[in-house]
Structure 1
Amino acid sequence: MVYESRVTIAGESVSRVALSDEAAALLRRLWTIHGPLMFHQSGGCCDGSSPMCFPVGDFQTSSHDVLLGRFDLAEDGPDAMPIEFWMSREQFDYWSHTHLTVDVVRGRGSGFSVEAPEGVRFLIRSRLMDSAMPFV
């Protein structure tokens, strides 16, 4: 199963970002350890091509970032688990034609992202979006 985000970009009607089952399960576990979480995708060298997951408030977004989507990972129960996915505007200019799925793979990621001590890292899988058909 894939969890599609709620649309957050004005004028759009199709989700731009999703979570794999594995990513959603890991995020629920990380939420119990770190509290509310958010993603930021910057681009660039090193781990810049991987989505970074931070406790809310540890990374400040600005007008140079685009909110691509918002998830609520609460399964059953009254407590919401909102997670926003942000991308630098410059990176969005390159990836504006793609749908992103956040997945999890074994291996060491960045020391700044909260999944690093778990022996796994978040990874982006992408596919083209088309104006006539959302996913190609």
Structure 2
Amino acid sequence: MTVEASVTIPGETFSRVALTESAVELLDKLWLLHGPLMFHQSGGCCDGSSPMCYPAGEFITAEADVLLGVLDISSDTPGTDADSRPIEFWMSREQFEYWRHTHLTVDVVPGRGSGFSVEAPEGKRFLIRSRLMG
């Protein structure tokens, strides 16, 4: 099961970003701890090439960023609010120029990522899996 992002780039009709079931489960837990969340993919080396997850609004986006999609992780977990839980996925415009022909899937793997991303204390890190779009 994957969650596909809504289409946010004018003129496009396809989703550019998805979440694996493992990513949704971790994001649900992180939402309960931190409130609304967002992703930013900046590019670069090391952890700069991993998607970074922040409390919504903590990372300031601007003209240098592209909103690739909005993912909804509405929860059906007992005892949680089943309302919409939107997570924006942003990418630096410069990185988008390199990745514009790919579909991105956010997954989770064991290990510690960057100390700035909210999943770091969980002993897991988000990872991008990409495929070329036809």
Give RMSD over aligned pairs: 1.0
Aligned residue type for 2:124: V
Of the candidates 107, 112, 116, which is equivalent to residue 111 of structure 2?
107
The whole-number CA distance in structure 1 between the counterparts of 2:128 and 2:49 is 8
Query: How far is 1:108 from its partner?
Result: 0.8
The percent identity for this pair of structures is: 72
In structure 2, do the counterparts of structure 1 residues 78 and 106 end up closer, same or farther at CA, with 3 Å as the change threshold? closer
Aligned residue type for 1:86: W
The whole-number CA distance in structure 1 between the counterparts of 2:123 and 2:40 is 20
Retained in 1: the 8 A contact 2:54–2:118? yes
Query: How far is 1:80 from its partner?
Result: 1.6
The whole-number CA distance in structure 2 between the counterparts of 1:39 and 1:4 is 14
Of the candidates 95, 98, 119, which is equivalent to residue 94 of structure 1?
98
Q: TM-score, length-normalised on structure 2? A: 0.94
Please show how residues 1-136 of structure 1 align to structure 2 within 5 Å.
1-76=1-76, 79-130=83-134
> What are structure 1's unaligned runs of at least 5 residues?
131-136
> What are structure 2's unaligned runs of at least 5 residues?
none
Retained in 1: the 8 A contact 2:71–2:88? yes
Residue deviations 1:24-64 (CA, integer Å, cap 9, x gap): 11001000000000000000122111000000121000010
Aligned counterpart, 1:134 = none
